[in-house]
Copies of this chain bind each other. A is one copy, B any other.
Amino acid sequence: MPKSEQSLSVFRERIDEIDEQILDLLRERSEVVKGVLLTKIEKKLPIYVAGREANKIQSFREMAIKRDMDPDWAEDFLRMIMSSSRASQSASEFPSATASSKTVLIIGGGGGMGVQYSNLFSASGHQVRILDKNDWHRAEDLFRAVDLVIVSVPINLTQAVIRKAAPFMPDYAVLADFTSNKKDALRAMVDAHPGPVVGLHPMHGPDLQNLSKQLMIYSHGRDEDACTWVLNQFQLWGMRLLQVDPDRHDRVMHMVQGLRHFVALLHGSFMKDFDLKPEEILHFSSPIYRAELMMTGRIFAQDAELYADIVFANEERRQLLLQFMDHHSRLADMVRKGDKKAFVEEFENITGFFGEFAETALEESSYLINRLADRFA
């Protein structure tokens, strides 16, 4: 072994030892965190408390500064450790928001979201029933003495299912839905059911092991007090709650869901016509474009019908997409005329409109891009 290799291998052995010790400490740490969790469940305390996490992060940053380490890096590092603790909570039991157990019926409970929520309600000690499209002949049994009915079906079926379900429900039961369009669904629920109504929109995908820190959007329909236990239950799972105005919510969703997925189709379809394979583009890509390509590509690993339902959700959304087409047509004029000055002017107007957000976005996306480069380059 040449001398340089020899001195390198001494260093490398020491690195291996250190890594073993770090893993031992992480292992012990996760045991202690489990102790915290079990105590919280026993005492019916929420799994996630934002203020406490912020304090812990602040003190960890100070520990890092004392050791002359980069506190931003240390914060990322700690968040990564904490996210792993959250993921490992999935198998555990969760605290219950009510003194005695409730009966929850999930319509469309066989879908990804349905499965996720039925697991969590069960893990919190409630009785969960599932109604899928072939179960309507058993409706009378399934609806008997339910406390909460959640409609979790594709967006274009929601209103019909609400009208079908409501007559089976006891008046005291809470009716809720998981649709990403709140205005129409909320109106349908209030019209069909005389009892408590709350519109929900869980802002996360179906592939999560637990919902800690995830966002649940809600709009009250009728009898807020009777719905409180449901919202409390979400909070005990660690979710963040946000009350919204249904009109405003839907307007934003046209952009977030309708436009985004239409543009992804446009992008993918153009690549196809241009015969440019994503793998080939990746060879030439910086991490920034790689991130973008992954965000577009993920859509085409999913169900076409689901996205068609999202894009064609209602008339208002289709109108927005057509306005977007007109907008493109106007901006394409700059390109046709080679009008760089107009481009710069429009760019600067957007910069003004975005304001401080642009700086935040630069910082946050750089973080993302660096993670991606670490992980996949």
A39-B4 in contact (CB<8A): yes
Q: Which of B21, B36, B80, B205 contacts A374 (CB 8 A)?
A: B80
A276-B251 in contact (CB<8A): yes
Q: Does A302 contact B (CB under 8 A)?
A: yes
Q: Does A215 contact B (CB under 8 A)?
A: yes
B285-A256 in contact (CB<8A): yes
A39-B8 in contact (CB<8A): yes
Give chain B residues whose Cβ lies under 8 Å from the Cβ of A287. 204
Given A205-B286, A300-B347, is A368 in contact with B294 using a C-beta cutoff of 8 Å? yes
B361-A298 in contact (CB<8A): yes
Q: Does A230 contact B (CB under 8 A)?
A: no
Q: Does A270 contact B (CB under 8 A)?
A: yes
A257 CB to closest chain B CB (Å) equals: 8
Q: Does A141 contact B (CB under 8 A)?
A: no
Given A45-B4, A268-B354, A291-B291, is A15 in contact with B32 using a C-beta cutoff of 8 Å? yes
A297-B353 in contact (CB<8A): no
A346-B255 in contact (CB<8A): no
B302-A362 in contact (CB<8A): yes
- Per the bound structure, the CA–CA distance linking A353 and B280 in Å amounts to 13
Q: How many residues of A contact B (CB 8 A)?
A: 157
B29-A18 in contact (CB<8A): yes
A327 and chain B: residue at smallest CB distance:
B270
Q: Which of B23, B288, B302, B346 contacts A265 (CB 8 A)?
A: B346
Give chain B residues whose Cβ lies under 8 Å from the Cβ of A357. 277-279, 297
B301-A276 in contact (CB<8A): no
Give chain B residues whose Cβ lies under 8 Å from the Cβ of A343. 265, 304, 307-308, 311-312
Q: Among the listed stretches A106-114, A132-140, A157-165, A332-340, which one makes contact with chain B, having 4 or more residues with CB under 8 Å of it?
A: A332-340
Q: Does A24 contact B (CB under 8 A)?
A: yes
B298-A365 in contact (CB<8A): yes
- Per the bound structure, the CA–CA distance linking A35 and B265 in Å amounts to 50
Q: Does A229 contact B (CB under 8 A)?
A: no
Given A15-B32, A298-B358, A343-B308, is A20 in contact with B271 using a C-beta cutoff of 8 Å? no
Q: Does A144 contact B (CB under 8 A)?
A: no
Q: Does A266 contact B (CB under 8 A)?
A: yes
Q: Among the listed stretches A56-64, A97-105, A146-154, A167-175, which one makes contact with chain B, having 4 or more residues with CB under 8 Å of it?
A: A56-64
Known: A23-B63, A83-B374. 7 other contacts (CB 8 A): A14-B32, A19-B63, A80-B80, A255-B271, A298-B366, A308-B347, A325-B335
The 3 closest A-B pairs by CB, nearest first: A297-B361, A301-B358, A304-B347
Please list 8 pairs of residues, one from A and one from B, whose beta carbons are closer than 8 Å in the complex, sorted by A's number.
A11-B36, A22-B26, A23-B74, A263-B263, A278-B357, A298-B361, A300-B350, A305-B344
